[in-house]
Structure 1
Amino acid sequence: MFRSLGRWARSDVQAALVESAPDRAILRRWADTAEGKACFGPVLAATERDYGTQLAELEGLAEGAGVPVEDLLLTSLRGDFGTAARMGCSTLAWRRETTVVAHNEDGDPRLDGCLMLLTLLVEGEAAVTALWYPGTLPTNAFVATSQGLAWGINHIPAVRPSSAGAGRHFVARALHQAATLDEAVAHLRTHPSAGGFTYTIAEAASGRAAVVEAVAGRVAVVEATPDDPLHWHTNHLRHIPDPPDLPPADPQAAEVRGRYAESIARGRVLSGLTPGPAESPSTWYLQALCSAPLPHGVYRTAASPDPLMTLCTVIADMSNDTITIRRRTGETATCSLTDFTQGVPVTP
C-alpha cells in the first residue's frame, strides 16, 4: 500500500526532499560523527525492534517514490535527537456541552501547498484520515479514526532524548489503531519515544478529552473536565519538567527557555481565551485560532521574525460528528467525521 502511495505521490515526495536538502545535509553530516552515531544508532535499533510494520511502510513509501529510504529516515527521526528545530502548531481541547479538538498546523512556508489529506483504508484495521506531509508517515499533524478518536500533534524538542526510545513518528503511527482514549493513553505510556510529541485527544463515545505529553520516555496526562473544560498546548512542556535535573541558573536551562519563547507567547494567548464554544463550536474555534498573529492571536503568517505560517486549521466536533477544515487561503469546508475517516472528498 505505501509503495503504491509513494508512486502516486512521487513528485510531491521528491519535491519535499529537494526543499529539505540543506537541513538533511547538515543532519547527515552530524549523523556520521561519533555523537551522531551514538544518538542515531539506538533510536534506529529501537524502531527496528518494536515497529517493524511501520518501518516497512516508510521503506515502501521510499521505494515507490524512488528516493533513498535513508533520506526519509533522517526526515522522520530528526526530531528524536534533541537538535534545535523550528516549532509550530497550537491545539485546543474543549469538554462540556460538546467535545471538540481544534488544531492549527504550522509549518515552513516552503511546505505551503504540499500538505494534503490522506485516508488509509486497510483491511482489518480502523480507517484513518490524517493531514500528511509527503515523505513522512501520516502521523505528525492531525488524525481522525473510525474508532471515534481524533487528535492534534504538537512537536516538542526534547533537550535530553531517551536512548531507549524509538522514533516518535513510528510510535504515533502505531497509535492509529487505538480503540479508546484509555487505550491511546496506555499505548503512549508503554511505548516510549526518543523525542517528543504532545497529543491532544478527543473521544466521541465518552465525550472525554485529554492532553498527553509523551517526551523522551516520560508521559504526563491531563484530562479536561466539565469544571475545567478548556485545555491548550503549543510547543513547550507544561506538565513534565524539561530539561530534567537542570537548575534554573544553568546556562542550558536559559537556552531552553529562549527556544520556547515564541511557544510560550502563543500559550499565553490561548490561556487568555474566554470560553464560549458551546454556542457555535466551529465559529468560535476559527475565531480563536485564525483571527490574528502574536501578540493578539496564534495565527502565523511567516512575517519576520517568525519563520513559520499556519498551513491549515482543523476543528473536530466529536459530539456532533462534524469536522471543519480551513485552508491557509481562507476556504472552509465541513463534513461529517464519519465520512471524513472513510475518505469521502472534502470540498468547500
Structure 2
Amino acid sequence: MNARIDETTVAGLRWVVVTGERIAAFTLLGEYARASITAVQKQLPEREGLQVFTRSGRGRRILADVAAATEQAYPHLAAELRALAAGATLPYEDLLLANLRGDLGVDDGTGCTDLAWRGTSSFIAHNEDGAPALDGHFMLLTLHIDGDLPVTVQWYPGFLPSNTLAANAAGLVWGINHIQVTTPIAAPGRHFVARRLQQCTTFTDAVDFLRTHPSAGGFAYTIGDTHTGRAAVVETAAGRHAVRELPPDRAFEWHTNHIRFMPDPPDRAPAGAATANLGQRDESLARGRVLENITPALEPGVDWFDRVLAGSPVPTGVHRTAAGDDPLATLCTTVTNLTDQTIFIRNRHDRTASLSLADFVAGPPSTERSATE
C-alpha cells in the first residue's frame, strides 16, 4: 500500500487527508476526486478565454516558455500534477493550462482578501473568494507526502494544492491573493512556486524563498509564524517582489488583488492601453478602500477578524455574495491566531468550527470514508 485517503467534514467542508508516496498519493487523489476535478474544470470561467488565447501565436509562445520553466525548476511538482491528471483520467495539458491561467497575461478576475495583525497576539485571516458553482467541490486537503513536511490547504480539485490558504507543520500560515500581471515573464508558474513554499521551515526562509524564486504571474502572500508572531505581506509578480513586514507593536495590514508596495506595478496596463482588467482592479480597489478605513480594536480577536471578513459586502465590508455584477462569493473565511495556535473556519453557509493549528495541519483523528492504493 503506497497511498491512503481518509475523509471527514469540518464546518460543512469536505476534508480529505492523503498519505503516502508522492506519485501514488496524487494518482489516488485524482481517482478519488475525479468527479469534482471534472466539474471544476468544466465550470472555470476563464476556460474558454485560455483556450482561445493559447491557440494564438503569442499565447502558444508564452505557454511554452512558462511550461518549460516550470518543468525545469519544479519537476517533482509537475509530476504531482501529471499524477493527479492520470488519476482523474484527464489530459495533463488541460490541468496544466488551468494551473497556469494567472501566468499567461490573460484576465483572471479578482478574488480573496487577507488581513494581518501583530501585537500582544498575532493573526492571519483570509477570505477565499470563488465562483459559486465551485461550492461543494472546494474543500480542505491535508497532504502527508513521504519526505515532506505535512501541510493543509484549501483546495480547488484539479489545481496544484497551493493557491489559497496553507498551514504547514513548521508553524507557518499564509493566505494568497491573485495579482493580475499584464506582461508575464518566462518563469515558473506561480502555483508551483507556492507549492514549493510549503516546505519552508522558518519565517525568514519563506520570505527569502519568495524573494529569490520568481513566478511568471503574480501572487500576494500574507505570511505569519506561530513561533515568533512575525507577519508580513510579500508581493511577487513577473520576477519582481516587495516585502512589508509588520512591526511588533499593534500593527495592521491588508491585501486584496492589486499591488500596493511596488513602484510602477506590473498589474497595471501601460497608459492608454485598453484592458478588461481595469474593471476587475476597481473591484479590488473598492475592497481596499473599505480596509483602509477600518481601525482595529486595541487588541483584536477572532471575532473582530470574522466580522470584518464575513460581516457585509462593499461598501461596508469585503464579504462577497455573487450579487449584482459580482461573479464571486466568499466560499470560506479563516482566522488563525498565531499566538494561541488555533484556527477558526466559517464556510459559505455560516457553519463554523475552531480547532488547534496542530490538528488542522495533521488532519482529523477520526474519519468517515477511506480509500487505499
TM over 0.5: yes
Correspondence list, 1:230-309, <5 A: 230-243=252-265, 250-252=271-273, 257-276=278-297, 278=299, 281-309=301-329
Q: Which residue of 1 aligns with 2:4?
A: none
* 1:219 pairs with 2:241: yes
Residue 342 (structure 1) aligned to one of 354, 359, 362: 362
Q: How many Å separate the matches in 2 of 1:323 and 1:246?
A: 35
2:125 touches 2:175 (CA, 8 Å); kept in 1?
Answer: yes
Q: TM-score, length-normalised on structure 2? A: 0.88
Q: How many Å separate the matches in 2 of 1:100 and 1:319?
A: 8
Secondary structure, counterpart of 2:102 in structure 1: helix
1:277 touches 1:285 (CA, 8 Å); kept in 2?
Answer: no
Q: TM-score, length-normalised on structure 1? A: 0.94
* 1:71 pairs with 2:94: yes
Residue 40 (structure 1) aligned to one of 60, 63, 66: 63
Q: Which residue of 2 aligns with 1:2?
A: 26
1:333 touches 1:346 (CA, 8 Å); kept in 2?
Answer: no
Q: How many Å separate the matches in 2 of 1:10 and 1:345?
A: 25
The amino acid of 1:4's aligned partner reads L
Q: CA deviation at 1:346?
A: 9.8
The amino acid of 1:66's aligned partner reads T
Q: CA 1:337–1:50 in 2, change beyond 3 Å: closer, same or farther?
A: same
Tell me the percent identity: 50
Q: How many Å separate the matches in 2 of 1:326 and 1:119?
A: 18
Q: Which residue of 1 aligns with 2:54?
A: 31
* 1:328 pairs with 2:348: yes
The amino acid of 1:107's aligned partner reads G
1:334 touches 1:346 (CA, 8 Å); kept in 2?
Answer: no
Structure 1 runs of 4+ aligned residues shifted over 6 Å read: 245-248
Q: How many Å separate the matches in 2 of 1:108 and 1:247?
A: 25
Q: CA deviation at 1:55?
A: 0.3
Q: Aligned Cα RMSD in Å?
A: 2.0
1:246 touches 1:253 (CA, 8 Å); kept in 2?
Answer: no
Q: Which residue of 1 aligns with 2:179?
A: 156
Q: How many Å separate the matches in 2 of 1:320 and 1:116?
A: 24
Secondary structure, counterpart of 1:114 in structure 2: coil
Secondary structure, counterpart of 2:116 in structure 1: strand
The amino acid of 1:261's aligned partner reads D
Q: CA 1:246–1:116 in 2, change beyond 3 Å: closer, same or farther?
A: closer
Q: Decide which structure has greater helix share.
A: 1
Secondary structure, counterpart of 2:158 in structure 1: coil
Q: CA 1:184–1:101 in 2, change beyond 3 Å: closer, same or farther?
A: same
Q: CA deviation at 1:160?
A: 1.4
What residue ranges of structure 2 are gaps of 5+ in the alignment? 1-24, 368-373
1:277 touches 1:284 (CA, 8 Å); kept in 2?
Answer: no
What residue ranges of structure 1 are gaps of 5+ in the alignment? none
Correspondence list, 1:156-195, <5 A: 156-163=179-186, 165-195=187-217
Q: CA 1:37–1:254 in 2, change beyond 3 Å: closer, same or farther?
A: closer
Q: CA deviation at 1:227?
A: 3.7
Q: Decide which structure has greater strand share.
A: 2
1:129 touches 1:341 (CA, 8 Å); kept in 2?
Answer: yes
Q: CA 1:231–1:341 in 2, change beyond 3 Å: closer, same or farther?
A: same
Q: CA deviation at 1:253?
A: 8.0
Q: CA deviation at 1:345?
A: 6.2
User: Over residues 123-164 of structure 1, what are the superposed CA-to-partner deviations in whole Å (9 max), with x where a residue is unaligned?
Assistant: 22211000000000111110001100000000000011112x
Q: CA deviation at 1:305?
A: 1.4
Q: CA 1:59–1:305 in 2, change beyond 3 Å: closer, same or farther?
A: same
User: Over residues 259-303 of structure 1, what are the superposed CA-to-partner deviations in whole Å (9 max), with x where a residue is unaligned?
Assistant: 311101101111211212735x21111111111101000001000
2:107 touches 2:277 (CA, 8 Å); kept in 1?
Answer: no
Q: CA deviation at 1:244?
A: 5.1
Q: CA deviation at 1:228?
A: 5.7
